[in-house]
Amino acid sequence: MSEIEIPESHPRYESLLTRHRIEEGVEKGITSQQGLIAQGRGEAFDYLLGEETIPSADDAERVAAAQLLAAEHAVLSVNGNVAALVPGEIVDLAEATGADIEVNLFNRTAERMDRIADHLRDHGATAVKGLEADGRIPGLDHERAKVDADGIGDADVVLVPLEDGDRAEALAEMGKTEIVIDLNPLSRSAQSAAVPIIDNIIRAVPNMTEHARDLRDHSAAELEAIIDGFDAEEALAAAEQAIRDGDLDK
């Protein structure tokens, strides 16, 4: 039995666990009510993808790991859904890649910022950025533009999972290399990413960490070759194809 009193062999185990974590996130004041809607939308796409990491997503996760390792300053952005779903897994990815963690909210409130930072620390994070808010993303209204100047403001590579389209586009326009995790290959966030990962964050983040551990001893030139071999358009097209051709009997 697990945290949801359902055996891991249950065919809908992962989906039920995900729902449970999001519900708990709302109860703890970590996840916004809009986060519940975002989760429902994600679930529908995941169902059509067969609730599995398709080969093109696994490739993208490896490339994303290479990007994070090759970065001068990588930052993993955490919102209310990410904090509820994969808090410990984000800490593991940060450790495996040397990236910073920054809380960055679409619906920013001081209370939720603090709760998420505490939640991440409870899961092993030693430093959590986002609370200074002394930097801005150009082109967004005041609250939604806030970042840390020495965090996302300074980063060359950012991971923005489950991000709102406007903010994903604005970050990409700042010239940052953007890695997006989003189950919808047609979302503006996925479309604006240098590395779109069309997968459930619950599977994507641990898999990126595994790839990062495998790639840790690769040279800068080897990482560059992995990055250069990636085609974002192809990855998006493969995911859309998998969704359209989905075998619902699986």
Binding site residues, ligand PTJ, CB under 6 A: 32, 34-35, 38-39, 41-42, 45, 79-81, 85, 105-107, 162-164, 181-184, 187, 200-202
Q: What angle do CA 84, 139, 134 make, to 5 degrees?
A: 65
Q: Least distance from C-beta 154 to ligand PTJ, angstroms? A: 21
Nearer to ligand PTJ, 70 or 125 (CB): 125
Nearer to ligand PTJ, 92 or 169 (CB): 169
Nearer to ligand PTJ, 70 or 235 (CB): 235
Q: Least distance from C-beta 107 to ligand PTJ, angstroms? A: 4
Position of minimal CB gap to ligand PTJ:
42
Pull the structure tokens for residue 105.
Answer: 């909210």
List, in order, residues 6 or more apart from 68 with CB less than 8 Å away.
74, 93, 97, 98, 99, 157, 159, 179, 208, 212
Q: Least distance from C-beta 40 to ligand PTJ, angstroms? A: 8
Q: Least distance from C-beta 176 to ligand PTJ, angstroms? A: 17
Q: Other CB atoms closer than 10 Å to residue 4's CB: what's the count?
A: 16
Q: Which of 81, 104, 87, 112 is CA-nearest to residue 176?
A: 104
Nearer to ligand PTJ, 190 or 223 (CB): 190
Q: Least distance from C-beta 105 to ligand PTJ, angstroms? A: 4
Nearer to ligand PTJ, 97 or 200 (CB): 200
The upper half-sphere exposure of residue 189, i.e. CA atoms within 13 Å in the direction of its Cβ, equals 18
CA dihedral 49, 53, 56, 58 (to 10 degrees): 170
CA distance 28 to 11: 28
